[in-house]
Amino acid sequence: HTGQRVYDAKRTVRLEAMGYRVMRFWNHEILGELDNVLEQIQTALFEPPSPQPSPGGRGG
């Protein structure tokens, strides 16, 4: 499972670099706690995006 975690982490970095916000849920959460999952998604929709660091890690 470590390989999958590394793959997921790299994919998340790529998606976030393109401006997407990634949320992950376990299958059992989708199947058994859908209302909670939907609430988390709705909450995230109204959160301001995290500021993107400047290229090269430099300020301003």
**Domain coordinates of the chain in residue numbers?**
2-47
Range ranked top by mean pLDDT from 7-11, 45-49, 53-57: 7-11
Q: 36-57: buried (b, 16+ CB within 10 Å) or exposed (e) per residue?
A: ebeeeeeeeeeeeeeeeeeeee
Determine the residue type at 53: P
Answer yes or no: pTM beyond 0.75: no
* Nearest-angstrom CA–CA distance, 12 and 23: 9
* Nearest-angstrom CA–CA distance, 36 and 41: 9
Task: Say yes or no to pLDDT of 10 above 90.
Answer: yes
